[in-house]
């Protein structure tokens, strides 16, 4: 008998038929003797619908009120799933985040879980009930409802699994595992049997939204066995694992991530003097805008420089405004920007021990005539920024260049 935490995302609970199917799957696992805690998201599209309603009434609604609104999506699905279970004779109880004391900080819309009091859940499990918990939400010390950021139900599931010391946390979704890249963009993408926490964390933070970043962080920190699998078909999905366990079949590149949410800003003709980067980026940081990639070039005359960086698209207008002010003060020649860019990254722990990944990447892009605007590297990833229109072509070219369609075993040599 195992204690399992199952999480079903929006598409998996998108209609009452699907909710019934989730209940049936849960009953099969229960018949095998497992104890179950089920975390659910709002029905697909619901969170966006609620955000749209808020937008009709207030251009920048208060975070507290937004959380009261957004948390209702998950409250609907927990009740419906508990009903579907009861209808089939399975004792079940649903709870909101606050009811099972998922305590968070007070950062509305992006709160972090601090603690969970598992007494109530344990009591129900011991009484033979299936426990259904609303994902994506918690409560702060003042009793205000909070939400955990988009995709946050993954994190609720992992946090509950950690608190309950569950045997496994299973993330059921609309694809049957983690792929070498988003299978909706590249049909040749291949499902991975395993991926390391480190690689998954990097993929998630570089744009692969199959798991929320914090869920992966949490699972790595508390050693929660984590699996991604399909809610529609049977299968073993993808196990997120430690590096040592995965080493046997480790390829150099695990996958390709992309992020369409960034925008690029450039100040050109800035005097090349000490302190310039600080004067440009200081006001941006003070406005709480996160800067991602940064590149500084020496200008043609050798006395001025060009300074380019990327921010989230939502922050673009604000950052442009701040930059124009800074540029006037610095006597810079011009400020320009572009929202039609995409960041594409190849990720793999195998890169650490092999040179040549970056040049292989640049070679593949150059064969397709794709111009690289920015580059950044770390031990286990190489990222480039290119024109948005090349997204599909670039990801496919890289997928081919690193032979990701094929099984990892035996690839070591050809990838090196």
DSSP assignment letter at 242? -
Measured distance CA(136)–CA(134) in Å, rounded: 7
Measured distance CA(237)–CA(253) in Å, rounded: 19
Of 10, 97, 220, 269, the residue at the interface with ligand ASP (CB under 6 A) is 10
Measured distance CA(198)–CA(186) in Å, rounded: 23
Measured distance CA(89)–CA(92) in Å, rounded: 9
Of 6, 12, 90, 135, the residue at the interface with ligand ASP (CB under 6 A) is 135
Instruction: Identify the CA nearest to 190 among candidates 253, 98, 97.
Output: 253
The DSSP element (H or E) to which 194 belongs, if any, is strand 194-196
| Contact stretch for ligand ASP (CB under 6 A) within 41-49, 100-108, 381-389, 395-403 | 41-49
**H-state helical runs in 177-222:** 197-205, 213-221
Measured distance CA(95)–CA(113) in Å, rounded: 17
Sheet holding 334-338, edge to edge: 291-298, 304-312, 262-271, 334-338
Of 135, 151, 177, 237, the residue at the interface with Mg ion (CB under 5 A) is 151
Which parts of 3-32 interact with Mg ion (CB under 5 A)?
9
| Contact stretch for ligand ASP (CB under 6 A) within 144-152, 189-197, 300-308, 313-321 | 144-152
| 184 is a contact residue toward ligand ADP (CB under 6 A) | yes
| 151 is a contact residue toward ligand ADP (CB under 6 A) | yes
The partner in contact with residue 255, picked from ligand ASP, ligand ADP, Mg ion, none with C-beta cut-offs of 5 to 8 angstroms by kind, is: ligand ADP
Measured distance CA(388)–CA(367) in Å, rounded: 17
The partner in contact with residue 208, picked from Mg ion, ligand ASP, ligand ADP, none with C-beta cut-offs of 5 to 8 angstroms by kind, is: ligand ADP
The partner in contact with residue 184, picked from ligand ADP, ligand ASP, Mg ion, none with C-beta cut-offs of 5 to 8 angstroms by kind, is: ligand ADP
Q: Minimum distance between the CB of residue 135 and ligand ASP, rounded to whole angstroms?
A: 5
Q: Which is nearer to ligand ADP, 155 or 181 (CB)?
A: 181
Of 173, 308, 310, 383, the residue at the interface with ligand ADP (CB under 6 A) is 173
- In 3-state terms, what secondary structure has residue 350? helix
| Interaction site with ligand ADP (CB under 6 A) | 9-12, 41, 151, 173-175, 178-179, 181-184, 208-210, 255
| Interaction site with ligand ASP (CB under 6 A) | 9-10, 41-42, 47, 73, 135-136, 150-154
């Amino acid at each position: 008998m195992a204690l399992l935490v199952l999480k079903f995302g929006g598409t998996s609970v998108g209609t009452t038929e699907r909710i019934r199917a989730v209940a049936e799957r849960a009953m099969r696992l229960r018949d095998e003797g497992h104890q179950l805690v089920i975390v659910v998201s709002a029905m697909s599209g619901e969170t966006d619908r609620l955000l749209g309603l808020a937008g009709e009434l207030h251009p920048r609604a208060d975070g507290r009120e937004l959380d009261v609104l957004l948390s209702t999506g998950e409250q609907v699905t927990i009740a419906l799933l508990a009903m579907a279970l009861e209808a089939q004779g399975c004792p079940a109880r649903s709870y909101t985040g606050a009811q099972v004391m998922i305590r968070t900080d007070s950062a509305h819309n992006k709160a972090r879980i601090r603690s969970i009091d598992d007494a109530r859940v344990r009591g129900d499990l011991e009484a033979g009930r299936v426990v259904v918990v609303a994902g994506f939400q918690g409560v702060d010390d003042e009793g205000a409802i909070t939400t955990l950021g988009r995709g946050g139900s993954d994190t609720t599931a992992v946090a509950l699994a950690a608190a309950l010391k569950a045997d496994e946390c299973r993330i059921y979704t609309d694809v049957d595992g983690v792929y070498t890249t988003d299978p909706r963009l590249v049909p040749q993408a291949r499902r991975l049997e395993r991926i390391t926490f480190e690689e998954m964390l990097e993929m998630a933070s570089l744009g692969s939204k199959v798991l929320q970043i914090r869920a992966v962080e949490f699972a790595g920190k508390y050693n929660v066995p984590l699996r991604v699998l399909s809610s529609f078909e049977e299968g073993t999905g993808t196990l997120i694992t430690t590096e040592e366990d995965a080493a046997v079949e480790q390829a150099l590149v695990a996958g390709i991530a992309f992020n369409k949410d960034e925008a690029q800003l450039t100040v050109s003709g800035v005097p090349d003097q000490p302190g310039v980067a600080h004067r440009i980026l200081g006001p941006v940081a003070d406005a709480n805008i996160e800067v991602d990639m940064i590149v500084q070039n020496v200008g043609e005359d050798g006395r001025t420089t060009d300074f380019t960086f990327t921010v989230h698209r939502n922050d673009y207008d604000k950052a442009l405004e701040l930059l124009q002010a800074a540029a006037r003060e610095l006597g810079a020649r011009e400020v320009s920007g572009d929202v039609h860019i995409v960041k594409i990254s190849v990720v793999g722990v195998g890169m650490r021990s092999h040179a040549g990944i970056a040049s292989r990447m640049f070679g593949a892009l150059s064969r397709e005539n794709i111009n690289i605007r920015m580059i950044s590297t770390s031990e286990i990833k190489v990222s480039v920024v290119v024109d948005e229109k090349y997204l599909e072509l670039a990801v496919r070219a890289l997928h081919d260049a690193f032979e990701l369609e094929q099984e990892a075993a035996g690839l070591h040599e050809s990838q090196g």
